Amino acid sequence: MAADFYDLLGVGRDATEDDLKKAFRKLARQYHPDANPDDAEAEARFKEIALAYETLSDPQKRAHYDRFGTPPGAAGGGDPFSGMNLNDIFDAFFGGSSPFGGSPFGAAAGRARTGPQRGTDLEAVLTLDFEEAVLGAEAEVTVRTATVCEPCEGRGAAKGTQPITCGTCDGMGQVQRVRQSILGQMVTRTACDACSGSGEVIADPCRHCRGDGRVVGDRDYTVTVPAGVGHGSTLRVTRRGAAGPRGGPPGDLYVHIDVRPHPRFEREGDHLVAPLNLTMVQAALGVNSKYETLDSVEDLDIPAGTQSGDVFRIRGRGVPRLEGRGRGDLLVQAVVETPTGLSDDEIDLLRQLAELRGEEVAPTTRKRRREARRK
């Protein structure tokens, strides 16, 4: 069952026009989509409230509703909200302004804004060495972009002249249009075509930029790469995009990160993984060694009996955390090497070891000795 219009507005059936308007203003602010972002229920509620007000504020429609319990035109099953535009509602009852600042419904409203247009956002790819991505760096990136025209200082007008006020919109950058909607006559505003929303026109354009206030060329920017940035991530550099036409603010620059692989280190989240090459004897007897990380040299104690694949953790020598303090760890994985290029004495010693351990090995032949010495 449809909600009662009087109940929706929170007024009695004897409510005056002022009572209805006051109730609508209060509820419209409460259910405004800017106060309830991405809330479809709030928007639907706002439409119901608007329809209730539109119906009860009109004497003839109110009389029809009081008699039949439905707004005029709804009896045939039509959609009473068809054609309803939330911006039009605010144009009608709030003078086109939002109680939350800016345009009535943010970017979705599509309302034109007065003044020079913002420049476009740009994209660039920055290739970094592995160490630069992990430890951070200052890097240069070159982009082809629109920059402010120096001869006219971005105004677009020839030297010694000034832009003049647009006669179509009287410098407002917007024009008003009147149309009929469910709430009656509505006033909407759109960008002025004559001045593209800037409020000014150029009578004598600058020859260098042809009145646009911008010129196109290559520009180098220094990008601060935070420690711990990953391959495929994107950095936003504010106000480093293209300059806006005729003095408009610049857009932003989005830098996509490409990281070169490292010959020894690999990244796993906030951790680094690297191999540790050990001889058979070192793995068997253990060894105290120095291990070179990306940015330091650490003591590493390898216990006797280490096997290939064993992992040793060096804490705090991994990747700095972008959204927190500290760093990940460095995970060093043992790789035990089989000795090659053996001398005759070394071959004899290994055979003695095999006998002591009761291990079966291939018999000694001249061919096998040559193979052991050669590899």
Give the residue from 181, 187, 186, 183 showing the smallest Cα distance to 56.
Answer: 183
Helix (H, G, I), strand (E, B) or coil at 242: coil
**Domain final position from 92, 109, 126:** 109
Phi, then psi, of 130 in degrees rounded to 5: -55, -45
Is 119 in the same domain as 252? yes
Q: Which two tokens stand for residue 136?
A: 């951070």
Residue 279, H or E segment: strand 271-279
Is 67 in the same domain as 102? yes
Q: Whole domain around residue 369: which residue ranges?
A: 344-374
Task: Give the integer Cα–Cα distance in Å for 334 and 273.
Answer: 11
CATH number at residue 37: 1.10.287.110
**Distances from the Cα of 126 to the Cα of 132, 153, 222, 235, 271, angstroms:** 11, 31, 11, 10, 23
Higher-confidence residue of 226 and 26: namely 226
CATH number at residue 332: 2.60.260.20
Residue 182: pLDDT band with limits 50, 70, 90: low
Is 370 in the same domain as 326? no
Task: Give the integer Cα–Cα distance in Å for 157 and 184.
Answer: 43
Give the residue from 315, 331, 351 showing the smallest Cα distance to 274.
Answer: 331
Residue 115: pLDDT band with limits 50, 70, 90: low
Asked if the model's pLDDT at residue 202 lies above 80, the reply is: yes
Q: Which two tokens stand for residue 164?
A: 């003049």
How crowded is residue 154: how many other Cβ atoms within 10 Å of its Cβ? 23
Q: Which range has highest mean pLDDT (52-61, 184-193, 282-291)?
A: 282-291
Residue 80: pLDDT band with limits 50, 70, 90: low
* Least confident window among 101-105, 211-215, 236-240: 101-105
Interval 199-206 mean pLDDT: 88
The pLDDT assigned to 32 comes to 65
Interval 296-322 mean pLDDT: 96
Is 233 in the same domain as 303? no
Say what the pTM is: 0.62
Is 251 in the same domain as 121? yes
- 328: CB partners within 8 A, 6+ apart: 269, 270, 271, 272, 318, 319, 321
The sign one gets for the Cα dihedral 176, 179, 181, 186 is positive
Is 188 in the same domain as 138? no
Higher-confidence residue of 283 and 25: namely 283
Is 242 in the same domain as 128? yes
Domain count, the chain: 5
Is 134 in the same domain as 214? yes
Is 291 in the same domain as 187? no
Is 362 in the same domain as 244? no
Q: Which two tokens stand for residue 170?
A: 């009287």
Is 250 in the same domain as 127? yes
211 within 8 A of 156, measured Cβ to Cβ: yes
Is 154 in the same domain as 250? yes
Q: Which two tokens stand for residue 210?
A: 């042809």
DSSP secondary structure letter of residue 328: -
Q: What is the mean pLDDT of the chain?
A: 84
